[in-house]
Amino acid sequence: MGKTEKIILFQGDSITDGGRLKGKENAWDLNHQMGHGYAFLINAAMGCRYPEKNLRFYNRGVSGNRVGDLYGRWMEDTICLKPDILSVMVGINDCGSTLHDGAGSSPARFEKIYQLMLEEAREANPGVKIVLCEPFALPVGPIQEDFAAWNKLLRPLQEKVRSIAEKNKAVFVPLQDRFQELLSVREAEYWVWDGVHPTVCGHQIIARQWLDYAGHFFEEM
């Protein structure tokens, strides 16, 4: 096309991963690189809306990642890709790991690692646009019985993501309250089938929220 590519990168855990096909040996298979979640939906919508902008979308979410795991691969899977828009969703696995084996990050450690990741991203590209998605959960499925414990761990991390977004002049995408609102329309498992992982409809809600709050970045490219 003769125009410089604009890189949009989605980072996070299984909610972002969406069952994407991983490995450089599979890079040829363009049908399965974005997974089957909100990243795929945003790619489809914005790629169709702005074909002339030469947008390139990457999904580097990895199922099971805590914030520390994400930082462990930050150089290869984020810095080296040189994103113009960087979207991150992480935190729910820190709750699960803390609850089950004490291996998740405390709110203070979570904030410290998250802040370091964003600082390194900005050092590599001062103009990068950053989008931080709120981790979320609903009281259904395997986590329903222990939801009070999950929620006690999750709330401080949600607050940290919001404050980190404010500190770094990033876009914060609120998700917990949106899913709570939708419970008046349909039961929890319609949106988030096991309390953590969205259904197809749940992923569409995330994509809509993301575009409502951060879609203007595409207009500015």
| Residue positions annotated with a catalytic role | 14, 194, 197
Secondary structure (3-state) at 8: strand
For 2-146, where are the alpha helices, taking DSSP H only? 14-17, 38-49, 67-72, 74-77, 92-101, 107-124
Give the pair of three-digit tokens for residue 91.
């935190």
Long-range CB contact pairs, 143-150, < 8 A, 24+: 143/194, 143/195, 143/196, 144/195, 146/99, 147/195, 149/99, 150/95, 150/96, 150/99, 150/195
Q: Are 128 and 122 in contact (CB under 8 A)?
A: yes
Q: Distance between CA atoms of 66 and 92, rounded to whole angstroms? A: 8
Q: Distance between CA atoms of 151 and 49, rounded to whole angstroms? A: 38
